[in-house]
A = this chain, B = another copy of it.
């Protein structure tokens, strides 16, 4: 069921059929109507391969995720983000395809493959690193891309990021308000932009309040349950344990809760726990409910897609064409996991 068959069925040339379907102005209204009706009746849809071969565009945007990170943190985060991205693209007939990168494989190779085989018109990258060769490669090839998270690499490109400064200030404001002076921070892999930004903000906020930064209170841990458990264990073993701990992710908090429980301690009474993760329904059902941040991930995804579209020549006019880089706010949701006055 190609365009040829459709044209023959209508006694029209394929050129006219194509023009009718693509909304070109130089076709009779009556003819267009006939074509559209016949196409719907016969279930014709243009072949993507033929179309992209001709016009050099695929109508596909790739989102590259690594399964090792998603399996260690929150798949929900990326699901919501992807949903927003996809909805935005759908308005232009673009499809989002998610490429899952397995742990061993080099992400740069994956990106190269997508570009060289022309598997997508543009790429969205997450989990940006401070120094990210993927971005440099894409920028060098002049391939449209956007990132979730800033990076020092890749020149000036569209991105969305979160306001880590604000989050850390809100978190430490709150904890300091409860009287905490020994506030610990658990971080993930060094090199990820997210972690360096959190650490920087953490240091700054403490110093602004005249609290000395104790490097021993910043420990690196995996962002899942076991990581949180281990981190909490280490804290409790200290001669002078922190009275409050900031975790990057709620799954790590689950581990920390378990650790405290085993030691007969209670979060929110003996140790204050606060998480920088996006608020998820699980957070409010934890015991005690977890203080964390509300994020509009869906909206963030949509906006990220818009930022990318604005940088693509084909869509630039619809979006003003300016470079879009935005820092998104968090909203602190105070619950019971961190609310006590330290004496």
Interface residues in chain A, defined as those with a beta carbon under 8 Å from any beta carbon in chain B: 43-50, 52-53, 58, 67, 70-71, 75-76, 78-80, 82-83, 86-87, 95-100, 102, 112-113, 116-119, 224-226, 229, 251, 254-255, 257-258, 261, 281-282, 284-287
Contacts and interface: CB of A to CB of B under 8 A. Distances in A.
A79 B69 CA distance: 11
Contact of A285 (B50, B53, B99, B225): B225
B45 A257 contact: no
A68 to B, nearest CB: 10
A49 B45 contact: no
Contact of A67 (B50, B53, B71, B79): B79
A71 B75 CA distance: 10
A287 B285 CA distance: 13
Given A67-B79, A118-B47, A86 B100 contact: yes
8 contacts: A48-B49, A49-B49, A71-B79, A75-B76, A97-B97, A97-B99, A226-B285, A287-B287
Nearest to A62: B97
A45 B117 contact: yes
